[in-house]
Copies of this chain bind each other. A is one copy, B any other.
Amino acid sequence: MSRPVCAIVGAGEGLGRSLAAKFASQGFDIALISRSEASCVAAIEAVKTANNTVEVRFYSADATNPETLESALSDAARELGEIDALIYNVRKYFTACAPLDMSYAELEDTYRVEVVGAFAAAKSVLPSMINRSRGSLFFSSATAALRGSGTYPLYSIGKFGLRALSQSLTRAYAKDGVHIVHFRLDCDLDVPIMRDLYGDRYDPEKLARPDDVAETYWLTYLQPAGAWSNEVEIRPSIEVWTC
């Protein structure tokens, strides 16, 4: 009997790595989709440590090019088996900018990564999930999806679009047995990128641990079809509320 398959688009050293390890520990084969295998090394290692009886494979794709995502996910399904859980966990590196300083190219780029790429991933797995009346389609997002930002407008505009996509897919395909979830992280993660951004102000006590977040993704995966959440907020107990 074959193992279930979890595909993760965007599996770097942070949350993607924790998700890969978590699903591997539960007996899933893991497909990691990213631009370069180098960026997935930490995730691959984490999978092997978590469970050396499952398979983990890397597939190359560029989130700004939807056809490459389709092709990577199609390869993964052919080699590992139909995908049971797809986690779209891509995030453009975000830097602060005033809204008037956005360029048209950046505006299009954030959308391509956050929305078009997410749709390409969804399109690659949904028909088969609908067909089998099962499957989970998870999108990693943030509170920025719920309110604009005077300082990180590109990030917010991208995440709003991702949320619209996730809600639209849910309304259309939940009834077909596919669990579609927009995960809204209301916190910064304790991952390498954030350590850099925080610099001297870095304090692990004020950030969310990726392993904890991955655990809550997993618990959401376990929800029965009769009682699903389609938007899941995640916030460490120590988070200072901003809204």
A116 CB contacts on chain B under 8 angstroms: 104, 107-108
Most B CB atoms within 10 A — which of A107, A179, A229? A229
Bound Cα distance A30, B147 (Å): 32
Q: In the complex, are the beta carbons of B160 and A163 less than 8 A apart? A: yes
Q: In the complex, are the beta carbons of B163 and A148 less than 8 A apart? A: yes
- Cβ 8 A contact of A153, one of B66, B104, B150, B165: B165
Q: Is A171 an interface residue (CB 8 A)?
A: yes
- Residues of A whose CB lies within 8 Å of any CB of B are 66, 98-100, 102, 104, 107-108, 111-112, 115-116, 119-120, 122-123, 126-127, 147-151, 153, 156-157, 159-161, 163-175, 177, 179, 208-209, 211-213, 215-216, 219-220, 222-239, 241-243
- Cβ 8 A contact of A148, one of B111, B150, B166, B227: B166
Given A104-B116, A153-B165, A179-B237, A222-B219 contact (CB < 8 Å): yes
Q: In the complex, are the beta carbons of A99 and B173 less than 8 A apart? A: yes
Given A224-B212, A227-B208, A242-B243, A148-B168 contact (CB < 8 Å): yes
Query: In the complex, which residue of chain B has the Cβ closest to the Cβ of A238?
Result: B175
Q: In the complex, are the beta carbons of A216 and B208 less than 8 A apart? A: no
Q: In the complex, are the beta carbons of A237 and B165 less than 8 A apart? A: no
- Cβ 8 A contact of A99, one of B168, B222, B230: B168
Query: In the complex, which residue of chain B has the Cβ closest to the Cβ of A123?
Result: B100
Bound Cα distance A175, B116 (Å): 34
A234 CB contacts on chain B under 8 angstroms: 227-229
Bound Cα distance A236, B191 (Å): 34
Bound Cα distance A29, B174 (Å): 36
Given A156-B164, A165-B157, A171-B150, A235-B224 contact (CB < 8 Å): no
Bound Cα distance A160, B108 (Å): 15
Given A102-B119, A208-B227, A227-B215, A156-B168 contact (CB < 8 Å): yes
